[in-house]
């Protein structure tokens, strides 16, 4: 990705060198249909977490953008880095909170109804409104680069091998 597509005023690594409470937060649920904007409008597809997973996240976390690891489907599948928007999505004026996980991998097909496991490793930024769709997309692309950079640190990278991703459910 060209660095000119991201916000140069934001740091590319966030959070302390080692994880601090409340992180890591493990969440499991099912991928459900969302608003249909991720792929269509933003070009950034998301896996939306089911309400049972949402309840757990909303009890633990403030609204905003987070980073960590995710796995979709049956056990033994690959674990990928992710960014997650948790909240109201003010640009779209949502009336219902959502947790939308953007897995940093291009999948060949949808996986609605599949199991999803997420480990939230850290917080990137609060949610906010944007004057334009382009500004929103630019910040999401920056969030993706922040997640990639932040997850390279040893304590964060080791979470990709967490038991959540290897034990049977």
Question: Which residues lie across from 29 on neighbouring strands?
Answer: 116
Please indicate whether residue 145 is annotated as part of the active site: no
From residue 149, how far is each of 49, 53, 103, 137 by CA, in Å? 24, 26, 15, 19
User: Would you put residue 151 in left (φ > 0), alpha (ψ -120 to 50) or beta?
Assistant: alpha
Determine the 3-state secondary structure of 31 from DSSP: strand
CA–CA–CA angle 32, 160, 155 (5° rounding): 130
- Of 20, 60, 100, 109, the active-site residue reads 100
* Block residue for tokens 């990639």: 148
Active site residues: 100
């Amino acid at each position: 990705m060209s660095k000119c597509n991201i916000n140069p005023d934001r740091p590319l690594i966030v959070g302390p060198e080692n994880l601090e409470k409340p992180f890591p937060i493990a969440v499991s649920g099912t991928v459900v249909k969302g608003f249909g904007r991720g792929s269509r409008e933003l070009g950034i597809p998301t896996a939306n977490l089911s309400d049972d997973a949402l309840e757990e996240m909303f009890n633990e976390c403030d609204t905003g953008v987070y980073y960590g690891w995710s796995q979709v489907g049956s056990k033994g599948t690959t674990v990928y880095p992710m960014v997650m928007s948790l909240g109201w999505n003010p640009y779209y004026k949502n009336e219902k909170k959502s947790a939308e996980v953007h897995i940093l991998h291009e999948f060949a097909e949808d996986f609605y109804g599949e199991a999803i496991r997420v480990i939230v490793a850290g917080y990137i930024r609060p949610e906010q409104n944007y004057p334009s769709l382009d500004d929103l997309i630019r910040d999401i692309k920056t969030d993706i680069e922040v997640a990639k950079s932040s997850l390279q640190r040893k304590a964060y990278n080791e979470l990709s091998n967490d038991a959540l991703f290897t034990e049977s459910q």
